[in-house]
Amino acid sequence: MKQVCCLIAGCALPLPFFHPFGPVRQQHATGLTVGVQESSQQVRAWLGRACQNCHSQQTKWPIYSYLPVVSWALERDVAEGRRHMDLSRWDRYSTEQKRDLLARIGTEVRNRQMPPRRYVLLHPEARLSESEIQAIYDWTKVQRRALRNQRE
């Protein structure tokens, strides 16, 4: 019985160090490639500040993200965020996908669903002001219109 317990403990000990979500921390792109004209560089800065940690390949991992169980939760959130939208791969989306993503960005930012409250609690710099929210919303409308006109 003692040998079985030792065997189970020996197998279970390294488990927190094996990652169930794969190599999420790998960076595959150099920056945000979301189409932002020169006149909208402020929008790029806001997206970088409030969105890029979860929705790009430019995640900045805080020190607590290296704790085994905490890292799983954070990396799951980042993997999920990238799955929904990866701003580093914006140029790879079709026109229709970009229009859909822009609509979702505008709606979710305006309804304060993004950035999530739990994220803003740990990253207060990601909080968007009323004027930033309105500017991002307006920018997404202009970008969607421009994409629609490109297609026609």
Helices assigned H by DSSP within the chain: 2-12, 41-50, 52-55, 68-84, 95-110, 117-122, 130-151
Mean pLDDT of the chain: 81
pLDDT exceeding 70 applies to what percent of the chain? 73
Cis peptide before 116 (omega within 30 of 0): no
pLDDT at residue 12, as a whole number? 46
**pLDDT tier, 101 (very low <50, low <70, confident <90, very high otherwise):** very high
Task: Provide mean pLDDT across the span 53-79.
Answer: 88
**pLDDT tier, 38 (very low <50, low <70, confident <90, very high otherwise):** very low
Q: What is the pTM of this model?
A: 0.75
